[in-house]
């Protein structure tokens, strides 16, 4: 397993790419991405983790801020190039960018959504997943199990 944190390059890395989309809340959310990487450490996979080592929550979120633009561009490219996307909506979070990404990539056929009780827009997420046949899981361990299976299937067909 190779884990690539934003905004590091990931060109030329072999193996299926897994993008970890979901709750970060300006770095305030639990680091669930680290536990996912640890759980998948035995696989030959490239994990694209948008959580930066150094995120400045005060960054102006504008087109004229190169650090902000770099982050958003890295995330969009990672989502586009990923073979599998794991999206996690943490209970008690808002995750507006994750909701946007669900809308952008929900029809890609490569997404698994984890949306436990307690996420403020769980109903909206459930309806979108149902309508577009996006695999949906109630817990992170269940989502991880499904993603592991998807990565193993990808490896077997590559």
Over the stretch 80-118, which tens digit does the pLDDT of each residue have? 999 999 999 999 999 999 999 999 999 999 999 999 999
* Pairing mode of beta strands 84-88, 111-114: parallel
Cα gap 54→142, rounded to integer Å: 30
* pTM assigned to the model: 0.95
pLDDT of 27 over the 90 cut? no
pLDDT of 72 over the 90 cut? yes
Name beta bridge partners: 88: 22, 114
pLDDT of 150 over the 80 cut? yes
Cα gap 9→77, rounded to integer Å: 11
Residue pair 128/102 in contact (Cβ under 8 Å)? The answer is: yes
Sequence-ordered list of residues with C-beta below 8 angstroms from that of 145, at least 6 positions apart, any chain: none
Domain count, the chain: 1
For position 140, which CATH number holds?
3.40.50.450
Range of the domain at 39: 2-157
């Amino acid at each position: 397993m190779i884990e690539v944190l934003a905004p590091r390059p990931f060109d030329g890395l072999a193996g299926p790419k897994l993008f970890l989309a979901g709750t970060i809340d300006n770095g305030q959310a639990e680091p669930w991405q680290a536990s996912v990487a640890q759980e998948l450490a035995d696989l030959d996979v490239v994990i694209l983790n948008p959580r930066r080592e150094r995120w400045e929550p005060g960054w102006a979120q504008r087109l004229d801020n190169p650090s902000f633009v770099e982050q958003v561009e890295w995330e969009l490219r990672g989502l586009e190039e990923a073979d599998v996307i794991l999206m996690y909506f943490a209970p008690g979070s808002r995750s507006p960018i994750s909701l946007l990404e669900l809308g952008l990539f929900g029809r890609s056929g490569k997404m698994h959504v984890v949306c436990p009780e307690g996420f403020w827009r769980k109903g909206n997420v459930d309806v979108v997943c149902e309508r577009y046949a996006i695999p949906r899981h109630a817990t992170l361990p269940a989502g991880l199990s499904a993603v592991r299976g998807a990565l193993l299937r990808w490896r077997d067909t590559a």
